[in-house]
Amino acid sequence: MRYLLSSLIVGGLLYGGFIFIREKNTLEITLADLKNSVNGTAVAPGQGAPEATSTPPGAAPVVGRVKDIEPQGKLQNPPEVIKAIYATSWSAGTESRIAALIKLIKETELNAIVIDIKDFSGHVLYDIDNADVAKYGAKEVRIPRLNALLA
């Protein structure tokens, strides 16, 4: 059974996926296309996979494993109310941007940062040693030293 794209947008978003529209024309995607997608992203036949850049403009890509510190323990005195700001993986991987966000936290009521460590495409955005991530080529290091960032 085929559903029109307008129906799939709602269903796809509820399903936890994204639908990419590359043309102004209405596309038909089957429910099987959505279920057979690699990471919940439905791409119409002949449209190709969505494209994403692996490094921000002017930045050098991270190659190989990056030395990090040990993971931090549980917070001794966590805040009662969380007031957070969101940071993309590109921001979290940039020291100057993190410094600006930490300064903002110190000057305001903010007490946390939410960091995007796995994006909509399914890529894990920090250096992780995981067989499944390696098997599917789903690692794209944008945050070179995650544990040091969290310390």
Across the chain, what does the average pLDDT equal?
A: 70
- Provide the residue ranges of all domains of the chain, joining segments of one domain with +: 2-42, 84-150
pLDDT for res 151: 74
Question: What does the pLDDT look like over 113-138, one tens digit per residue?
Answer: 899 899 888 999 988 888 999 999 99
Of 141, 139, 128, 119, residue with least CA distance to 39: 119
For the entire predicted model, the pTM comes to 0.48
Taking only the tens place, the pLDDT of each residue in 67-94 is 677 777 887 888 888 899 999 999 999 9
32-66 pLDDT, tens digit per residue, is 655 555 545 545 445 554 444 445 555 555 555 55
